[in-house]
Chain A
Amino acid sequence: MQKQRSYQSYLNRFGWLCVTPAIVLFCLFMLYPILSSLYYVTQKWRGATSTFIGLGNFVRMLHDQVFLQALGNNFIFMAVQIPIMVFLALFLAVLLNQEVQKLRGPLRLAIFLPSVTSLVVVSVLFRMLLQTNGMLNNLLIGAHIIKEPIGWLSDPFWAKVTIILAMTWRWTGYNMVFFLVGLQSIDPQIYEAAEVDGASKSRQLFQITIPLLLPVILFSLVTSTSGTMQLFDEPNILTQGGQPYNSTMTAAVYIYRQAFLVNGNFGYATALSYVVVLISGIFAFIQMRLLGQREPDK
């Protein structure tokens, strides 16, 4: 009995020893910053000096129309871009999962490639293409699809479209890969049984494939939502920091400007970040409740 106990405690100690480095790193790089940010949130920061203002930052946030507009833009991007992208990724995954095509490999690669390119390079290149007198407008006018050049970067509506297009271009392939993996794990016998029962291809898609892929779709939705809440690179470079007049400003760009460019007000920026994290968390929670618990009917 004694030997059992001391062996147990030896295992315990050994276990803790193995975990300790990870715990130390976690405390240093995640716990400490989070706790200090609780302190920063109460400060009015001005460069090298800061003064205590309690919840003043949050009060200021409520009246900050620019931040509210930025959040609104985040929501618009989420509401429009994510369904389009998930649907497209799903569709492409099903298409490229068929046995027949020879080009399946290269096509999958081509669709996935955008997600591994440098965001900065992509944004700079897209800017060149999307100028009022740039290649895309010239192409569309030459093909008689439009008469006047579209202000992709100078019109508030089209600038939002540009951001959504850039995001979809970039992330569809990434999500498509997840769906492909999910599709591989579906037992082909289910499809055979459905064929025998006389189900059409589209019925198979909607009543078999999608319900079985629900965990992957959920994963895709949750990561896309939190990614869109943190959207930074495209608005910062592609539309030069939220142009035109804040119509593509997102929360992350605004936080960056507050912290680094405009005021050096890290206290306010931290308060804004808290709100963004909170919203991401709420969305993730809602999505998991709605989609996570449902078991596909066997």
Chain B
Amino acid sequence: MKKTFVSILLLLCLVVAGVSAQGKKLTVWCWDPNFNQYAMNEAAKVYNKAHPDVKIEIVETGNSDNLVAKLTSGLQAGGVGMPDIFLFQDFQIEQFLRDYPNAFADLKAAGIDYSKFAPYKVGPMTVGNKIYGIPFDTGSTGLWLRTDYIKAAGLNPDDYYGKNLTWSQVIKLGETVKAKTGMPLLSYQSDNFDMLRIVVQSTGGQFFNPDGSLNLQGDAFKKSIALFKELNDKGLLYSVVGWSDWINAVNSDKAVGFLNAIWMVGTVKSRPENKGKYMIIPTPRIEGVATAANASNNGGSSWYIYDKSPNKALAIDFMKSVWASDKPEALEFYNTILKGAGAMGTYLPSQKGSNYTAKDDFFYKSQPVYQDFAAWMSKVPTLRYTANYVPMRNAVANAVLRYFKGDLKTIDDTIKAAEAEYKQTTGE
């Protein structure tokens, strides 16, 4: 009896020792299986070539809001159930850096060379002389258009291909196509602020003053709202409510195109019927604003390492050797994910990769889309997010929607309503 008991105990010890000796494990949280999870998987493959005993487990959270909620719960619980590495949207990182200053690992101190990353990505993750994350994807935007609908309206897509257009020219195009084919120009997620922000950012306008206080009175913002109202009133917008519904609308031929970032490549390519039909032209610019550019940004996230993680050193080594290294296999990694998912990193040495200039035959006339996005990326005006970006975004989205429905009568009323809701939801 005693002998069997002791032998079972020994066996259990061996098993436990075996399991834990099996190697180190890193947990990564992110969303979007076709893009972020795919990229991290590729990174894990590269790292596992040199370190086969490290298991990198990627947990996909469904969408970025879920990840934020999970992270908040974990941080509030004092760090229970936290991952080692997690993805975070650039527009929200300043809020979390302010709220949880000790949760993020200082990677500048860990030796990452930030001069090799695009400056506009490094800005939001910098606090004082500490820099916290590894910049990931760019959200360089363009106007995506279906050339088959343009042709059906009797126009020549080459008249627009690669041109820096103004919104008046784009509206004229939209009206012609609508008249001839009945298709609205742009599919639009009405409860989402992004498209409006893309336009505001392209003008060089801001939502906040340098001291962080709200400022919606700018000329650029008013002109952007007026533009959308015009698009709406002329029937050029196909509106849906909800992100997944918008993705659905994009791939079910409800509109001629959409205004959004490079990371839509994965979605567009996931539908074989889109082959050869889409062209991407520079983001249109608003007239009458001196700082307006034909470029903008939407989204983009970065990877962060949890400061209190027991595997912090391992996580830093992993991220450094794949995401911030000049070694050939690291640069090749960036090249691979560009072709595989349209994931354009912001690690500047990687932009010499072959896929960055390659023609992509999925697009109209084999447009070298990545080369175009990279070129536009360098012209993007910087937007000040601040820590209160999310409540501002919700307040403005709601107010603008009411303006479209006719609930609010003028742009000034819209701005007042947005300011009021912002004040109430932030208590500031």
Residues on A facing B (Cβ under 8 Å): 44, 46-49, 60, 63-67, 127, 131-133, 153-154, 156, 239-240, 243-246, 257-266, 268
Return A256 CB to nearest CB of chain B, in Å. Answer: 8
Q: For the complex, what is the distance from the CA of A21 to the CA of B229, rounded to whole Å?
A: 63
**B242 lies within 8 A of chain A by Cβ:** yes
What does the 1/0 interface line of B58-94 toward A look like (CB < 8 Å)?
0000000100110011011000000000000000000
**B401 lies within 8 A of chain A by Cβ:** yes
Specify which of B68, B241, B405, B407 is in contact with A243 (CB 8 Å cutoff). Answer: B241
15 residue pairs bridging A and B, Cβ less than 8 Å apart: A65-B421, A65-B424, A66-B421, A131-B245, A133-B254, A154-B239, A156-B405, A240-B191, A244-B401, A246-B398, A260-B68, A260-B69, A261-B69, A262-B425, A268-B427
| Nearest CB in chain A to that of B239: its residue | A154
**B273 lies within 8 A of chain A by Cβ:** no
Residues of A within 8 A of B242 (CB): 127, 153, 240, 243
In contact, B241 and A240 (Cβ under 8 angstroms): yes
Q: For the complex, what is the distance from the CA of A260 to the CA of B401, rounded to whole Å?
A: 24
**B33 lies within 8 A of chain A by Cβ:** no
Return B81 CB to nearest CB of chain A, in Å. Answer: 15
User: Apart from A44-B427, A153-B241, what 4 extra A-B contacts exist at CB < 8 Å?
Assistant: A47-B99, A260-B72, A260-B73, A262-B394
In contact, B391 and A66 (Cβ under 8 angstroms): no
In contact, A46 and B99 (Cβ under 8 angstroms): yes
Specify which of A48, A60, A65, A239 is in contact with B101 (CB 8 Å cutoff). Answer: A48
Complex A-B, nearest 7 residue pairs according to Cβ-Cβ distance, in ascending order: A47-B99, A245-B398, A260-B69, A64-B424, A243-B191, A47-B100, A48-B100
Return A24 CB to nearest CB of chain B, in Å. Answer: 22
Q: A132-B240, A262-B390 are in contact. Are A154 and B190 (CB under 8 A)?
A: yes
Return B63 CB to nearest CB of chain A, in Å. Answer: 11
Specify which of A44, A48, A60, A66 is in contact with B75 (CB 8 Å cutoff). Answer: A48
Q: For the complex, what is the distance from the CA of A261 to the CA of B71, rounded to whole Å?
A: 10
Residues of B within 8 A of A63 (CB): 424
Residues of B within 8 A of A246 (CB): 398
Residues of B within 8 A of A47 (CB): 75, 96, 98-100
| Nearest CB in chain B to that of A133: its residue | B254
| Nearest CB in chain A to that of B78: its residue | A48
Q: For the complex, what is the distance from the CA of A263 to the CA of B100, rounded to whole Å?
A: 12
Q: For the complex, what is the distance from the CA of A240 to the CA of B398, rounded to whole Å?
A: 13
In contact, B100 and A244 (Cβ under 8 angstroms): no
Residues of B within 8 A of A132 (CB): 240
**B130 lies within 8 A of chain A by Cβ:** no
Q: For the complex, what is the distance from the CA of A258 to the CA of B426, rounded to whole Å?
A: 9
Residues of A within 8 A of B424 (CB): 63-67
Residues of B within 8 A of A268 (CB): 427
What does the 1/0 interface line of B392-419 toward A look like (CB < 8 Å)?
0010011101100101000000000000
Most chain B CB within a 10 A radius of its CB, from A257, A259, A262: A262
Q: For the complex, what is the distance from the CA of A280 to the CA of B309, rounded to whole Å?
A: 42
Return B365 CB to nearest CB of chain A, in Å. Answer: 31
**B102 lies within 8 A of chain A by Cβ:** yes
Q: For the complex, what is the distance from the CA of A260 to the CA of B420, rounded to whole Å?
A: 21
In contact, A265 and B102 (Cβ under 8 angstroms): no
